[in-house]
Copies of this chain bind each other. A is one copy, B any other.
C-alpha cells in the first residue's frame, strides 16, 4: 500500500519510488470504481477485499485464487486463501469479476469488463443472441496458448441454430 515497484504492462520506463507514499502498479480509479460497486451492492469493504481487487487490477494476466493470495501475502500474510475464494465469489456474484476454467489447472479470475459481448446468429431464422465476452474467455486463452492466435471478440459471429429453430427441426 506504499512504495512499490512498477510491474504493469506499460513499456515506457521502470520507475523506482523511494520514499513517497504512492500507488503505482494499480489504477486507483478502477479499484475505487469496483470497490464502490461492491459497496453499492450492499457488500462490506474490508482490507482483504480491497487487496483482492487491487491485485486483480495490478496485472493483465489472469490469476488463480492462489496467485492472488500469494501476491497479497507479500505484504499481508494474514489474508487467508479461503477469504480470497470467498471474496472472488462475492465479487463474481455481483458481476464485477469473472472466472474461467483453463484446461486442467485451477480457475483464473479477472475483473470483468461488462461492455464487450459476442454475437451468435441463427442460420435459420437470422435471430441474433448476445452473450457476454466472458463466455469466450476459455477459448481465447486456449487459442492464445496453443496457437499464438489472439481472438478478436465481437469481430465475428458464432453460427448455429437458436433454441427455437434447433428444437423445431433437429439436424439429421
Q: Which residues of A contact B (CB under 8 A)?
A: 101-104, 120, 122-123, 129, 131, 135-136, 138-139, 142-143, 146-152, 155-163, 166-167, 171
The smallest beta-carbon distance between A109 and chain B, in angstroms, is 14
Nearest neighbor of A131 in chain B, beta-carbon distance: B147
Flag if A166 contacts B143 (CB, 8 Å). no
Which residues on B sit within 8 Å (CB–CB) of A167? 148
Flag if B159 contacts A156 (CB, 8 Å). yes
Give this chain's copy count. Answer: 2
The smallest beta-carbon distance between A162 and chain B, in angstroms, is 6
**Cα A104 to Cα B148 with chains together (Å):** 26
The smallest beta-carbon distance between A19 and chain B, in angstroms, is 33
Partner of A148, one of B135, B139, B146, B166: B166
Which residues on B sit within 8 Å (CB–CB) of A142? 135
Nearest neighbor of A166 in chain B, beta-carbon distance: B150
Which residues on B sit within 8 Å (CB–CB) of A136? 139
Nearest neighbor of A162 in chain B, beta-carbon distance: B149
The smallest beta-carbon distance between A64 and chain B, in angstroms, is 14
The smallest beta-carbon distance between A71 and chain B, in angstroms, is 24
The 7 A-B residue pairs with the shortest CB-CB distance, nearest first, are A148-B163, A156-B159, A151-B160, A152-B160, A150-B161, A150-B166, A155-B159
Other than A149-B162, A156-B158, give 4 A-B pairs with Cβ distance below 8 A: A101-B101, A131-B147, A136-B139, A138-B139
